[in-house]
Structure 1
Protein backbone atom coordinates (compact mmCIF):
# COMPACT_ATOMS: atom_id res chain seq x y z
CA UNK A 1 0.00 0.00 0.00
CA UNK A 2 2.82 2.40 0.91
CA UNK A 3 4.56 1.83 -2.46
CA UNK A 4 1.28 2.47 -4.28
CA UNK A 5 0.74 5.77 -2.44
CA UNK A 6 4.32 6.87 -3.11
CA UNK A 7 3.79 6.11 -6.82
CA UNK A 8 0.66 8.27 -6.86
CA UNK A 9 2.54 11.03 -5.06
CA UNK A 10 5.39 10.77 -7.59
CA UNK A 11 2.87 11.26 -10.37
CA UNK A 12 1.31 14.32 -8.68
CA UNK A 13 4.60 15.88 -7.52
CA UNK A 14 5.31 17.76 -10.80
CA UNK A 15 1.91 19.46 -10.49
CA UNK A 16 2.72 20.47 -6.90
CA UNK A 17 6.15 21.68 -8.05
CA UNK A 18 4.59 23.85 -10.74
CA UNK A 19 1.92 25.48 -8.59
CA UNK A 20 4.23 26.24 -5.67
CA UNK A 21 6.74 28.06 -7.91
CA UNK A 22 9.58 25.98 -6.54
CA UNK A 23 12.91 25.73 -8.32
CA UNK A 24 15.76 23.31 -8.06
CA UNK A 25 19.07 24.55 -6.72
CA UNK A 26 21.25 24.95 -9.81
CA UNK A 27 24.98 24.33 -9.52
CA UNK A 28 27.34 21.55 -10.56
CA UNK A 29 26.27 19.07 -7.90
CA UNK A 30 22.58 20.03 -7.90
CA UNK A 31 21.39 16.49 -8.59
CA UNK A 32 22.43 15.67 -5.02
CA UNK A 33 20.51 18.60 -3.52
CA UNK A 34 17.48 17.53 -1.49
CA UNK A 35 15.93 21.01 -1.47
CA UNK A 36 13.59 22.76 -3.80
CA UNK A 37 13.44 26.47 -3.07
CA UNK A 38 11.77 29.76 -3.82
CA UNK A 39 11.95 33.35 -2.69
CA UNK A 40 9.21 34.36 -0.29
CA UNK A 41 8.14 37.34 1.77
CA UNK A 42 7.96 36.40 5.41
CA UNK A 43 4.50 36.93 6.93
CA UNK A 44 5.02 35.88 10.55
CA UNK A 45 5.88 37.70 13.73
CA UNK A 46 9.23 39.45 14.22
CA UNK A 47 12.07 37.02 14.94
CA UNK A 48 15.52 37.98 16.21
CA UNK A 49 18.10 35.28 15.49
CA UNK A 50 21.05 34.56 17.74
CA UNK A 51 23.46 36.48 15.46
CA UNK A 52 21.27 39.59 15.77
CA UNK A 53 19.56 39.27 12.39
CA UNK A 54 16.01 40.61 12.63
CA UNK A 55 13.42 38.98 10.41
CA UNK A 56 10.26 41.03 10.11
CA UNK A 57 7.08 40.91 8.08
CA UNK A 58 7.76 41.24 4.31
CA UNK A 59 11.50 40.52 4.59
CA UNK A 60 12.76 38.38 1.70
CA UNK A 61 13.82 34.85 2.60
CA UNK A 62 14.63 31.72 0.66
CA UNK A 63 12.03 29.13 1.56
CA UNK A 64 13.46 25.62 1.55
CA UNK A 65 11.34 22.53 0.88
CA UNK A 66 12.59 19.00 1.30
CA UNK A 67 11.96 16.95 -1.82
CA UNK A 68 9.75 14.59 0.18
CA UNK A 69 8.74 12.14 -2.52
CA UNK A 70 12.39 11.59 -3.42
CA UNK A 71 13.24 11.01 0.24
CA UNK A 72 10.33 8.59 0.69
CA UNK A 73 11.47 6.56 -2.32
CA UNK A 74 15.06 6.41 -1.11
CA UNK A 75 14.17 5.58 2.49
CA UNK A 76 11.24 3.22 1.93
CA UNK A 77 13.21 0.02 2.60
CA UNK A 78 15.04 1.32 5.67
CA UNK A 79 13.29 0.31 8.87
CA UNK A 80 15.53 2.02 11.43
CA UNK A 81 14.25 5.51 12.24
CA UNK A 82 17.74 6.42 13.47
CA UNK A 83 19.31 5.41 10.15
CA UNK A 84 16.67 7.42 8.26
CA UNK A 85 17.37 10.46 10.43
CA UNK A 86 21.13 10.19 9.77
CA UNK A 87 20.58 9.96 6.01
CA UNK A 88 18.26 12.99 6.01
CA UNK A 89 20.73 14.92 8.17
CA UNK A 90 23.56 14.23 5.70
CA UNK A 91 21.40 15.21 2.72
CA UNK A 92 20.46 18.51 4.36
CA UNK A 93 24.05 19.19 5.41
CA UNK A 94 25.34 18.63 1.86
CA UNK A 95 22.47 20.59 0.28
CA UNK A 96 22.84 23.76 2.35
CA UNK A 97 26.00 24.72 0.45
CA UNK A 98 23.92 24.80 -2.74
CA UNK A 99 21.39 27.08 -1.08
CA UNK A 100 24.23 29.39 0.00
CA UNK A 101 25.54 29.43 -3.57
CA UNK A 102 22.02 30.20 -4.88
CA UNK A 103 21.69 33.19 -2.54
CA UNK A 104 25.14 34.62 -3.35
CA UNK A 105 24.50 34.22 -7.08
CA UNK A 106 20.94 35.64 -7.01
CA UNK A 107 20.27 39.13 -8.38
CA UNK A 108 18.37 39.96 -5.14
CA UNK A 109 21.18 38.66 -2.93
CA UNK A 110 21.53 41.92 -0.98
CA UNK A 111 17.84 41.86 -0.01
CA UNK A 112 17.73 38.23 1.12
CA UNK A 113 17.92 38.00 4.92
CA UNK A 114 18.22 34.22 5.26
CA UNK A 115 16.41 30.94 4.84
CA UNK A 116 13.24 29.54 6.33
CA UNK A 117 11.63 26.15 6.33
CA UNK A 118 8.76 24.48 8.12
CA UNK A 119 9.14 20.90 9.21
CA UNK A 120 8.20 18.13 11.58
CA UNK A 121 11.84 16.98 11.48
CA UNK A 122 13.39 19.56 13.76
CA UNK A 123 15.41 17.42 16.19
CA UNK A 124 19.11 18.01 15.57
CA UNK A 125 18.56 21.02 13.31
CA UNK A 126 20.52 23.28 15.63
CA UNK A 127 23.68 21.28 14.83
CA UNK A 128 23.17 22.22 11.18
CA UNK A 129 22.98 25.92 12.11
CA UNK A 130 19.21 26.36 12.18
CA UNK A 131 17.23 28.07 14.89
CA UNK A 132 13.97 26.28 15.71
CA UNK A 133 11.01 28.58 16.37
CA UNK A 134 7.47 27.64 17.35
CA UNK A 135 4.63 28.47 15.00
CA UNK A 136 2.43 30.59 17.26
CA UNK A 137 -0.64 31.10 15.07
CA UNK A 138 -2.89 28.12 15.94
CA UNK A 139 -4.69 27.93 12.58
CA UNK A 140 -1.46 28.07 10.56
CA UNK A 141 0.12 25.45 12.84
CA UNK A 142 -2.93 23.19 12.31
CA UNK A 143 -2.82 23.77 8.55
CA UNK A 144 0.87 22.83 8.40
CA UNK A 145 0.30 19.76 10.58
CA UNK A 146 -2.51 18.56 8.30
CA UNK A 147 -0.37 19.15 5.20
CA UNK A 148 2.55 17.19 6.73
CA UNK A 149 0.37 14.38 8.05
CA UNK A 150 0.56 12.19 4.89
CA UNK A 151 4.34 12.52 4.85
CA UNK A 152 4.54 11.45 8.49
CA UNK A 153 2.29 8.45 7.87
CA UNK A 154 4.23 7.30 4.82
CA UNK A 155 7.67 7.82 6.31
CA UNK A 156 7.33 6.06 9.65
CA UNK A 157 6.96 2.31 9.74
CA UNK A 158 5.43 1.66 13.16
CA UNK A 159 4.05 4.97 14.34
CA UNK A 160 0.42 5.22 15.37
CA UNK A 161 -1.78 8.17 14.47
CA UNK A 162 -1.86 9.17 18.13
CA UNK A 163 1.94 9.26 18.37
CA UNK A 164 2.27 11.34 15.21
CA UNK A 165 -0.26 13.85 16.51
CA UNK A 166 1.09 13.99 20.08
CA UNK A 167 4.86 13.90 19.49
CA UNK A 168 5.34 16.02 16.40
CA UNK A 169 4.45 19.62 15.85
CA UNK A 170 5.56 21.65 12.84
CA UNK A 171 8.18 24.29 13.59
CA UNK A 172 9.90 27.07 11.69
CA UNK A 173 13.59 26.64 10.91
CA UNK A 174 15.51 29.88 10.37
CA UNK A 175 19.09 30.60 9.44
CA UNK A 176 20.47 34.03 8.64
CA UNK A 177 22.30 34.58 5.36
CA UNK A 178 25.49 35.42 7.29
CA UNK A 179 25.37 32.23 9.33
CA UNK A 180 24.64 30.16 6.21
CA UNK A 181 27.69 31.71 4.50
CA UNK A 182 29.89 31.16 7.56
CA UNK A 183 28.95 27.49 7.82
CA UNK A 184 28.51 26.44 4.18
CA UNK A 185 30.19 28.90 1.78
CA UNK A 186 33.24 26.86 0.85
CA UNK A 187 31.57 23.46 0.89
CA UNK A 188 31.09 23.26 -2.91
CA UNK A 189 33.74 25.57 -4.27
Structure 2
Protein backbone atom coordinates (compact mmCIF):
# COMPACT_ATOMS: atom_id res chain seq x y z
CA UNK A 1 0.00 0.00 0.00
CA UNK A 2 2.90 2.40 0.70
CA UNK A 3 4.22 1.90 -2.84
CA UNK A 4 0.82 2.80 -4.28
CA UNK A 5 0.64 5.92 -2.11
CA UNK A 6 4.14 7.01 -3.18
CA UNK A 7 3.27 6.39 -6.83
CA UNK A 8 0.11 8.50 -6.48
CA UNK A 9 2.11 11.27 -4.79
CA UNK A 10 4.62 11.26 -7.66
CA UNK A 11 1.81 11.49 -10.20
CA UNK A 12 0.26 14.38 -8.28
CA UNK A 13 3.58 16.24 -8.30
CA UNK A 14 3.75 15.95 -12.08
CA UNK A 15 0.37 17.67 -12.50
CA UNK A 16 0.72 21.37 -13.08
CA UNK A 17 -1.59 24.29 -12.48
CA UNK A 18 -3.61 25.79 -15.31
CA UNK A 19 -1.52 28.98 -15.05
CA UNK A 20 1.71 27.11 -15.49
CA UNK A 21 0.16 25.08 -18.29
CA UNK A 22 -0.93 28.28 -20.06
CA UNK A 23 2.53 29.79 -19.62
CA UNK A 24 4.13 26.67 -21.11
CA UNK A 25 1.73 26.73 -24.09
CA UNK A 26 2.52 30.40 -24.74
CA UNK A 27 6.23 29.66 -24.46
CA UNK A 28 5.93 26.83 -27.01
CA UNK A 29 4.05 29.13 -29.41
CA UNK A 30 6.84 31.69 -28.97
CA UNK A 31 9.42 28.95 -29.65
CA UNK A 32 7.75 27.97 -32.93
CA UNK A 33 7.51 31.61 -34.00
CA UNK A 34 11.16 32.21 -33.04
CA UNK A 35 12.31 29.16 -34.98
CA UNK A 36 10.37 30.28 -38.04
CA UNK A 37 11.52 33.91 -37.92
CA UNK A 38 15.17 33.05 -37.38
CA UNK A 39 15.22 30.07 -39.78
CA UNK A 40 16.33 27.57 -37.18
CA UNK A 41 16.14 24.12 -38.72
CA UNK A 42 16.18 20.54 -37.60
CA UNK A 43 18.92 18.42 -39.10
CA UNK A 44 17.27 15.13 -38.13
CA UNK A 45 13.51 14.63 -38.19
CA UNK A 46 13.83 11.69 -35.78
CA UNK A 47 15.93 13.63 -33.26
CA UNK A 48 15.25 17.36 -33.14
CA UNK A 49 16.88 17.82 -29.72
CA UNK A 50 19.45 20.23 -31.14
CA UNK A 51 18.67 22.49 -34.06
CA UNK A 52 20.92 24.83 -35.97
CA UNK A 53 21.12 28.06 -37.93
CA UNK A 54 24.02 29.73 -39.67
CA UNK A 55 24.42 33.36 -38.75
CA UNK A 56 26.81 36.28 -38.59
CA UNK A 57 28.69 36.37 -35.28
CA UNK A 58 28.19 39.65 -33.43
CA UNK A 59 30.04 39.18 -30.14
CA UNK A 60 33.53 39.84 -28.84
CA UNK A 61 36.48 38.09 -30.47
CA UNK A 62 36.92 34.54 -29.20
CA UNK A 63 40.33 32.87 -29.37
CA UNK A 64 40.05 29.10 -29.71
CA UNK A 65 42.56 26.59 -28.35
CA UNK A 66 44.01 25.98 -31.84
CA UNK A 67 44.77 29.70 -32.26
CA UNK A 68 41.82 30.37 -34.59
CA UNK A 69 39.77 33.44 -33.77
CA UNK A 70 36.09 34.07 -34.28
CA UNK A 71 35.50 37.77 -34.87
CA UNK A 72 32.50 40.01 -35.36
CA UNK A 73 31.21 39.42 -38.91
CA UNK A 74 32.37 35.78 -39.17
CA UNK A 75 29.84 33.09 -39.97
CA UNK A 76 29.06 30.61 -37.20
CA UNK A 77 26.61 27.76 -36.67
CA UNK A 78 24.36 28.46 -33.70
CA UNK A 79 22.81 25.52 -31.79
CA UNK A 80 19.36 25.64 -30.23
CA UNK A 81 17.62 23.17 -27.95
CA UNK A 82 14.16 22.04 -28.93
CA UNK A 83 12.58 23.20 -25.68
CA UNK A 84 9.36 21.28 -26.29
CA UNK A 85 11.31 18.03 -26.54
CA UNK A 86 13.40 19.06 -23.53
CA UNK A 87 10.20 19.65 -21.56
CA UNK A 88 8.86 16.21 -22.55
CA UNK A 89 12.14 14.59 -21.57
CA UNK A 90 12.05 16.41 -18.24
CA UNK A 91 8.50 15.33 -17.50
CA UNK A 92 9.18 11.69 -18.33
CA UNK A 93 12.44 11.48 -16.35
CA UNK A 94 12.45 10.05 -12.85
CA UNK A 95 15.50 12.07 -11.83
CA UNK A 96 17.86 14.77 -13.02
CA UNK A 97 20.49 12.08 -13.64
CA UNK A 98 18.14 10.23 -15.98
CA UNK A 99 17.36 13.52 -17.76
CA UNK A 100 21.07 14.27 -18.14
CA UNK A 101 21.69 10.82 -19.63
CA UNK A 102 18.84 11.30 -22.12
CA UNK A 103 20.22 14.71 -23.10
CA UNK A 104 23.73 13.33 -23.58
CA UNK A 105 22.47 10.45 -25.74
CA UNK A 106 20.28 12.75 -27.85
CA UNK A 107 23.24 15.10 -28.34
CA UNK A 108 25.61 12.26 -29.28
CA UNK A 109 23.10 11.06 -31.88
CA UNK A 110 22.48 14.44 -33.50
CA UNK A 111 25.99 15.96 -33.53
CA UNK A 112 27.18 13.92 -36.56
CA UNK A 113 24.12 15.16 -38.46
CA UNK A 114 24.87 18.75 -37.48
CA UNK A 115 28.41 18.21 -38.80
CA UNK A 116 26.93 16.89 -42.06
CA UNK A 117 24.57 19.89 -42.25
CA UNK A 118 27.50 22.30 -41.84
CA UNK A 119 29.68 20.50 -44.39
CA UNK A 120 26.84 20.58 -46.93
CA UNK A 121 25.94 24.23 -46.26
CA UNK A 122 26.66 26.53 -49.24
CA UNK A 123 28.92 28.67 -47.00
CA UNK A 124 30.58 25.78 -45.18
CA UNK A 125 34.10 26.94 -46.01
CA UNK A 126 33.62 30.19 -44.10
CA UNK A 127 31.78 28.84 -41.06
CA UNK A 128 34.37 29.34 -38.34
CA UNK A 129 32.73 27.71 -35.35
CA UNK A 130 29.73 26.19 -33.65
CA UNK A 131 28.25 27.60 -30.49
CA UNK A 132 25.18 27.44 -28.33
CA UNK A 133 23.83 29.63 -25.56
CA UNK A 134 22.10 27.95 -22.65
CA UNK A 135 21.40 28.23 -18.97
CA UNK A 136 22.20 24.51 -18.79
CA UNK A 137 25.86 24.52 -17.88
CA UNK A 138 26.74 21.28 -16.15
CA UNK A 139 28.76 18.93 -18.31
CA UNK A 140 29.81 21.48 -20.90
CA UNK A 141 33.41 21.35 -19.68
CA UNK A 142 33.61 18.00 -21.49
CA UNK A 143 33.55 19.79 -24.85
CA UNK A 144 36.84 20.72 -26.45
CA UNK A 145 36.44 24.45 -25.90
CA UNK A 146 34.27 24.34 -22.76
CA UNK A 147 32.19 27.32 -21.71
CA UNK A 148 32.65 31.06 -21.89
CA UNK A 149 30.66 33.87 -20.29
CA UNK A 150 28.01 35.32 -22.55
CA UNK A 151 27.49 39.07 -22.47
CA UNK A 152 25.80 39.90 -25.80
CA UNK A 153 22.04 39.79 -25.19
CA UNK A 154 20.91 41.11 -28.57
CA UNK A 155 20.17 38.80 -31.50
CA UNK A 156 22.35 39.28 -34.53
CA UNK A 157 21.65 38.92 -38.20
CA UNK A 158 21.17 35.42 -39.51
CA UNK A 159 22.34 33.84 -42.75
Point out the more displaced range, 90-99 or 103-112: 90-99
69, 80, 84: which one aligns with 2:84: 69
Matched, 1:15 2:33: yes
Shift of 1:121: 1.3
- The alignment's C-alpha RMSD in Å is 2.3
**Aligned counterpart, 1:92:** 107
Q: TM-score, normalised by structure 2?
A: 0.74
Q: How many residues align?
A: 137
Task: Measure the CA separation in 1 of the matches of 2:76 and 2:91.
Answer: 32
**Deviation readout 1:25-58 (Å, 9 max, x if unpaired):** 1xxx542241221111111111111122211111
**Aligned counterpart, 1:148:** none
Note the residue ranges of structure 1 that are not aligned, 5 or more in a row.
145-189
Task: Measure the CA separation in 2 of the matches of 1:49 and 1:33.
Answer: 28
Note the residue ranges of structure 2 that are not aligned, 5 or more in a row.
1-15
Shift of 1:8: 4.2
**Aligned counterpart, 1:55:** 70
Task: Measure the CA separation in 2 of the matches of 1:122 and 1:92.
Answer: 14
